[in-house]
């Protein structure tokens, strides 16, 4: 991260289980000081990081979020204003903010919140989108979260028992069919101060 920061390259911080221990919180705060382009976490992680104290989230349980994404919206806006990073809170509705504007992405399925490592996967996708569009991390992060949610919707409609089996044909791995995005992605933008939905 230091090399990316010193080279002016955008990077994304995922504060995984930030409130689980003082060590994790200190590590996340040290990384936050290196000025990531985007901070992406679940509601509990963003609330804990915004408060800058592991004691702030007494109900925190590892990487699972015990809060709704809307619960962390004000904390996300404050964190974005104080760090200059775009902050993305994932949940049933994903909220992405630069501290002034808020974008809500309401794609995806509830099951995605229960699958371990979907947060890590979406953070990787956010990083890829930000690498392609470094001049507008808000739009890049919002699009990444919307596309990830849409992938979850497509996966759930196939009735797949596991993410890998969605692409598996009778004779082995198959190619994904064409993806039509028109009319599928739902994003809302607000420059007014949004509170809990």
pLDDT of residue 91: 85
Rg from Cα positions in the chain: 17
pLDDT of residue 186: 53
Q: Which pTM was predicted?
A: 0.75
Please name each of the domains of the chain with its CATH number.
2-162+183-190 (3.40.1190.20)
CB 1 within 8 A of CB 85: no
pLDDT of residue 59: 42
pLDDT along the chain (197 residues), means of 10: 83 90 90 94 90 49 57 90 94 90 82 77 94 93 91 76 47 44 52 46
What beta strand segments (E) does the chain contain? Answer: 12-13, 38-42, 86-90, 94-97, 102-105, 168-169, 172-173, 187-190
Spatial separation of the C-alpha atoms in residues 194 and 189, rounded to whole Å: 10
CB 73 within 8 A of CB 150: no
């Amino acid at each position: 991260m230091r090399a990316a920061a010193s080279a002016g390259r955008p990077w994304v911080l995922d504060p995984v289980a930030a409130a689980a221990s003082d060590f994790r919180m200190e590590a996340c705060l040290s990384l936050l000081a290196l000025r990531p382009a985007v901070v992406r976490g679940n509601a509990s992680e963003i609330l804990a990081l915004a408060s800058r104290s592991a004691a702030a989230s007494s109900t925190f349980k590892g990487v699972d979020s015990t809060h709704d994404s809307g619960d962390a919206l004000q904390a996300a806006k404050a964190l974005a204003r104080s760090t200059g990073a775009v902050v993305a809170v994932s949940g049933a509705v994903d909220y992405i903010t630069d501290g002034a504007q808020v974008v809500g992405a309401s794609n995806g399925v509830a099951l995605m919140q229960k699958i371990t490592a979907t947060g890590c996967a979406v953070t990787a996708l956010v990083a890829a989108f930000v690498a392609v569009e470094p001049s507008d991390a808000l739009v890049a992060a919002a699009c990444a979260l919307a596309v990830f949610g849409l992938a979850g919707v497509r996966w759930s409609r196939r009735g797949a028992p596991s993410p890998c089996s969605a692409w598996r044909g009778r004779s082995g791995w198959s190619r994904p069919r064409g993806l039509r995005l028109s009319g599928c992605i739902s994003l809302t933008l607000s420059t007014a101060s949004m509170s809990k939905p």
